[in-house]
Amino acid sequence: MKTILFLSPDADPCSKYLFEDDELISVEDNFITVGDPEGYHFKILDGNSSNTVIVENVTPPEDWYGCKYNYVNGVWELCPDWVDLRLEVEAA
Protein backbone atom coordinates (compact mmCIF):
# COMPACT_ATOMS: atom_id res chain seq x y z
CA MET A 1 0.00 0.00 0.00
CA LYS A 2 0.97 3.64 -0.23
CA THR A 3 -0.24 6.64 1.65
CA ILE A 4 -0.39 10.35 0.99
CA LEU A 5 0.90 12.21 4.01
CA PHE A 6 -0.13 15.79 4.59
CA LEU A 7 2.65 17.87 6.11
CA SER A 8 2.27 20.66 8.62
CA PRO A 9 4.89 22.66 10.49
CA ASP A 10 2.76 22.32 13.65
CA ALA A 11 1.88 18.59 13.53
CA ASP A 12 3.18 15.15 12.58
CA PRO A 13 2.62 13.91 9.00
CA CYS A 14 -1.02 12.85 8.74
CA SER A 15 -2.03 9.88 6.56
CA LYS A 16 -5.09 11.18 4.75
CA TYR A 17 -5.31 8.74 1.82
CA LEU A 18 -4.35 5.11 1.28
CA PHE A 19 -3.98 3.36 -2.09
CA GLU A 20 -2.78 0.11 -3.59
CA ASP A 21 0.87 0.22 -4.67
CA ASP A 22 -0.04 0.04 -8.37
CA GLU A 23 -2.37 3.08 -8.24
CA LEU A 24 -0.96 5.97 -10.25
CA ILE A 25 -0.66 9.17 -8.20
CA SER A 26 0.63 12.38 -9.73
CA VAL A 27 1.57 15.23 -7.40
CA GLU A 28 1.40 18.62 -9.13
CA ASP A 29 2.05 22.19 -8.00
CA ASN A 30 -1.64 22.88 -7.34
CA PHE A 31 -3.31 19.46 -6.83
CA ILE A 32 -2.91 15.68 -6.90
CA THR A 33 -4.50 13.36 -9.46
CA VAL A 34 -5.24 9.73 -8.71
CA GLY A 35 -5.47 7.29 -11.61
CA ASP A 36 -4.53 7.34 -15.28
CA PRO A 37 -3.84 10.92 -16.47
CA GLU A 38 -6.29 10.47 -19.36
CA GLY A 39 -9.11 9.17 -17.17
CA TYR A 40 -8.13 9.90 -13.58
CA HIS A 41 -10.40 8.74 -10.75
CA PHE A 42 -10.34 12.05 -8.92
CA LYS A 43 -8.32 15.10 -7.95
CA ILE A 44 -7.23 16.00 -4.45
CA LEU A 45 -7.47 19.77 -4.41
CA ASP A 46 -6.09 20.41 -0.93
CA GLY A 47 -2.90 18.44 -1.62
CA ASN A 48 0.04 19.50 -3.76
CA SER A 49 3.80 19.25 -4.13
CA SER A 50 4.45 21.64 -1.24
CA ASN A 51 2.25 20.08 1.45
CA THR A 52 2.29 16.32 0.78
CA VAL A 53 4.60 13.37 0.41
CA ILE A 54 3.83 9.85 -0.82
CA VAL A 55 5.20 6.89 1.12
CA GLU A 56 5.10 3.52 -0.63
CA ASN A 57 5.22 -0.05 0.66
CA VAL A 58 3.47 0.65 3.94
CA THR A 59 1.33 -1.76 5.94
CA PRO A 60 -1.45 0.28 7.53
CA PRO A 61 -3.11 -0.55 10.83
CA GLU A 62 -6.21 -2.74 10.43
CA ASP A 63 -8.43 0.10 11.62
CA TRP A 64 -6.84 2.73 9.36
CA TYR A 65 -9.14 5.59 8.47
CA GLY A 66 -8.27 8.88 6.76
CA CYS A 67 -6.62 11.29 9.21
CA LYS A 68 -6.76 8.77 12.06
CA TYR A 69 -3.05 8.03 11.95
CA ASN A 70 0.18 9.93 11.57
CA TYR A 71 3.14 8.20 9.94
CA VAL A 72 6.33 9.27 11.68
CA ASN A 73 9.74 7.77 10.89
CA GLY A 74 8.17 4.60 9.53
CA VAL A 75 5.80 4.12 12.49
CA TRP A 76 2.01 4.57 12.59
CA GLU A 77 0.86 6.73 15.50
CA LEU A 78 -2.73 7.47 16.46
CA CYS A 79 -3.48 11.18 15.95
CA PRO A 80 -4.03 12.59 19.44
CA ASP A 81 -6.91 14.86 18.38
CA TRP A 82 -8.68 12.43 16.01
CA VAL A 83 -12.43 12.08 16.51
CA ASP A 84 -14.44 9.41 14.70
CA LEU A 85 -17.17 11.54 13.12
CA ARG A 86 -18.95 8.38 11.94
CA LEU A 87 -19.87 7.64 15.56
CA GLU A 88 -21.20 11.16 16.09
CA VAL A 89 -23.43 10.87 12.99
CA GLU A 90 -24.80 7.51 14.18
CA ALA A 91 -25.60 8.98 17.60
CA ALA A 92 -27.51 11.94 16.13
Q: Is 66 helix (H, G, I), strand (E, B) or coil?
A: coil
Domain, as residue range, for 72: 2-91
**End-to-end CA gap in the chain:** 34
pTM, two decimals, is: 0.86
pLDDT digits (tens, 9 = 90+) for 5-56: 999 988 899 999 999 999 999 999 999 999 986 776 889 999 999 999 999 9
Cα–chain-centroid distance for residue 68? Answer: 10
pLDDT digits (tens, 9 = 90+) for 4-16: 999 998 889 999 9
Reported as a pLDDT band with limits 50, 70 and 90, residue 77 is: very high
Dihedral of the CA atoms 80, 86, 87, 89 (nearest 10)? 130
How many domains does the structure of the chain reveal? Answer: 1
Say what the pLDDT of residue 89 is: 60
* CA–CA dist 53, 13 (Å, integer): 9
